[in-house]
Amino acid sequence: MLVLDGKEVSGKVRASLVPRIEAFKARNERPPHLTVVIVGDDKASHVYVRNKKIACEKVGMTSTIHSLPADITQNELNELLETLNQDDAVDGILVQFPLPAHLSSHEVLKTVSPEKDADGLTYTSLGYFFAGQPTVRPCTPEGVMTILKHFNINVEGMRAVVVGRSNIVGKPMAHMLTEANATVTLCHSKTKNLSEYTKQADLVVVAAGKARLLGKDDFKKDAVVIDVGMHGTGNNGKLCGDVRFEELQGWAKAATPVPGGVGPMTITTLLQNTCLLAEKRALR
């Protein structure tokens, strides 16, 4: 089985960003800047956000984290976002999800300027994306497409199954695979007999949000398996995905590990998006 090493792909893509960032700096007297907003004290989210900042700095970009108390109001959050929208030194804005229950991601996505939408999740960005027009694209599914391309996995004509229908992963993933000429089935938590679908697929992208949900028996021989899951406590406290990776050896053709598969590529796409947004805004 080919292990689809997301760190390897990330290293290559991030290295290719360095000269672009140098060129931006030479022209604009500052590097591209990403601002990350996090609300509350969810430990895992804080780890992800710190990793994003470290990744920015490693490629020569700068990053600020706005860490807000869990009881901030929607108005206060929106006001901060408006300030960041107006701040010429900010190229990308990312609000880490999930938010505390009293805050609305819908409000956030309406407020962040599409010109600074590092996540590719505002409705303007998604509109362009689903209409097939160039734009920043959602980071996780775009990272998956970059992994497939790097390992020369051509999905054209494949039967692909996506498990999960979120706006962040499942829906855009299904669209990207369709763009790449796969025949896509989108399954979700209400799908009956999920395994009947996944077992027919040449490629399965699992973004179900359930630790170790699928294993060898759910995939056909020589399937390509992409695991988008990230769970801190699903496997004796070890980080694990939605797939029982250890069962796939000798069965799947290729699969992404967790950690070290899709996760690093999500961050790498975020860096690409931020760089692109900075370059576009500087041209105006």
Provide the annotated active-site residues. 52, 96, 119
Question: Taking Cα atoms as reference points, which of 173, 134, 282, 118 lies closest to residue 109?
Answer: 118
Between residue 136 and residue 165, which ones bind ligand GUN under the rule CB under 6 A? 139-140
Bridge partner list, 2:
254
Looking only at residues 162 through 221 of this chain, which bind ligand GUN when binding is defined by CB under 6 A? 168
For ligand GUN, the closer CB: 139 or 162: 139
22 vs 1: CA distance, rounded Å: 38
Per rule CB under 6 A, is residue 248 in the interface with ligand GUN? Answer: no
Closest distance of CB 17 from ligand GUN, Å = 18
DSSP helix/strand/coil, 261: coil
Q: How far is the CB of 242 from ligand GUN (least distance, A)?
A: 14
Q: How far is the CB of 56 from ligand GUN (least distance, A)?
A: 15
50 by DSSP, 3-state: which? helix
Considering only residues 60-119, where is the footprint of ligand GUN by CB under 6 A?
94-97, 119
State the nearest-atom distance from the C-beta of 233 to ligand GUN, in Å. Answer: 17
167 within 8 A of 121, measured Cβ to Cβ? yes
256 contacts ligand GUN (rule: CB under 6 A): no
> 251 vs 226, 230, 254, CA distance in Å?
14, 22, 9
Nearer to ligand GUN, 4 or 262 (CB): 262
Residue 100: burial class (beta carbons within 10 Å; 0-12, 13-18, 19+): middle
Amino acid at 62: T
d(CA 243, CA 212): 5
Q: Cβ–Cβ contacts within 10 Å for residue 126, how many?
A: 21
Q: Within 112-181, where are the H helices?
A: 123-130, 139-150, 170-179
Could you tell me if 262 and 226 are in contact, meaning their C-beta atoms sit under 8 angstroms apart?
yes
> In sequence order, which residues have a C-beta less than 8 Å from that of residue 63 and are 6 or more positions away?
33, 34, 35, 36, 52, 53, 56, 57
- Closest approach, Cβ 68 to ligand GUN, in A, equals 14
- The residue with its CB nearest to ligand GUN is 97
Q: State which residue, 37 or 254, has the beta carbon closest to ligand GUN.
A: 37
Q: How near is the Cβ of 12 to ligand GUN at its closest, in Å? A: 21
- The conformation of residue 214, written as its DSSP 8-state character, comes to B
What is d(CA 241, CA 277) in angstroms, rounded to the nearest whole number?
31
Q: Of the two residues 113 and 195, which places its CB atom closer to ligand GUN in the complex?
A: 113
Choose between 93 and 158: whose C-beta lies nearer to ligand GUN: 93
Number of residues that bind ligand GUN (CB under 6 A): 9
Cβ closest to ligand GUN, residue 38 vs residue 187: 38
Residue 37 binds ligand GUN (CB under 6 A)? no
Binding positions for ligand GUN, rule: CB under 6 A: 94-97, 119, 139-140, 168, 266
